[in-house]
Structure 1
Amino acid sequence: MPMPEWNQDSLVWRFAMTDDGPDFHDTPGFEPPDPWLLAIAAVVRDLRCLRYGRDVQVHRLVWELAISDQYAVTIGWRGPGVGGFNLCHGVSMDAPYPQTAVWVAETTQGELTGYEFIQWPSRGRHILYPRLRQEGPVWVDPHTDTAVAAIGELCAQRAAWDALDRCQGG
């Protein structure tokens, strides 16, 4: 799906997220706020594991980040094998990393689950949910209310979820 054109009052960045950071395709001449880049990078790392359903070529997604004249952020992507999207829920460009990480994770999860029929993060039974806790932005098992991993560290902490499953007899 083609991405809509932004109005002239929006700042827009288009980039692929690589292991080395963003590979910018289009920018207004400067980088976006760090918390937003860090949040997208964390979610991209997590998108590499625990997806149940068809494949998403994470390395081929072109992310779009826009800041409106009201300072609200819109995120989206386009890429092969998965539909494009843009969403804005009034989150400010000045939001701190913990808030941006949870919002980017929730938005990505909602897009994949609701429109692409991909459960993420999941192994096909239940989905972890992004939450802001005292320890920061984390993925939570909704059945036990247990934090499984920090957002951005899901693949590295996958064993923690496996251990919880074994304890619960799953």
Structure 2
Amino acid sequence: MPLPDPWNRDSLVWRIPLAGGAAESDDNPGVDPPEAWVRALAAVALDLRCLRYGREVNVGRLVWDLAVDSEYFVSIGWQGARGVGGFSRGEGLTVDASFGEAAVWVADTVQSELAGYDFVQWPSRGRHLLLPRLLATNPAWVDPHGGRR
């Protein structure tokens, strides 16, 4: 079953700068975005400054798009800027996901998106990409060759 279109009229959509700042919305004034998801986006944005190798990708001016549709499914993305293409993706997580679940999903989504750019490895320690995992209830980057956090 295909997921609903996250950017349709029945969605609440917020724009949140990756560099930090308040969420903005033209369509849903007075409705705050889900806190766990805002924290997850902020955590991944902070991690984007670390352990990125390869071609320079300037993510500082990007703005997150966070959408919650009428069935409470969440989608994220960003609009393209300065050599970074835009994307949007929703994979079945709902607004009530925990911070840890949201952070791991956001990290995996962004890692997959950046893998589409020539020679971008994020996050990486040497030859291996670290993988986002949920350990107990906390998100963490894990080396797949040895399991080290």
Aligned to 2:25: 26
Q: Which has the higher helix share?
A: 1
* Paired letter, 2:8: N
TM-score using structure 2 length? 0.87
* Paired letter, 1:122: S
Change (3 A) 1:24 1:134: closer
Shift of 1:22: 2.9
Q: Give the counterpart of 1:106 among 94, 99, 108.
A: 108
RMSD value over aligned CA atoms?
Answer: 1.8
Q: What are structure 1's unaligned runs of at least 5 residues?
A: 148-170
* Paired letter, 1:86: S
Q: Which has the higher strand share?
A: 1
Shift of 1:116: 1.7
Alignment of 1:1-170 (within 5 A): 6-18=7-19, 21-27=20-26, 28-29=28-29, 30-78=31-79, 79-113=81-115, 115-117=116-118, 118-123=120-125, 125-134=127-136, 136-147=138-149
TM-score using structure 1 length? 0.77
Q: What are structure 2's unaligned runs of at least 5 residues?
A: none
Count of aligned pairs between the two proteins = 141
2 CA distance for matches of 1:22 and 1:35? Answer: 16
2 CA distance for matches of 1:97 and 1:5? Answer: 20
Shift of 1:67: 0.5
2 CA distance for matches of 1:5 and 1:94? Answer: 16
* Paired letter, 2:18: M
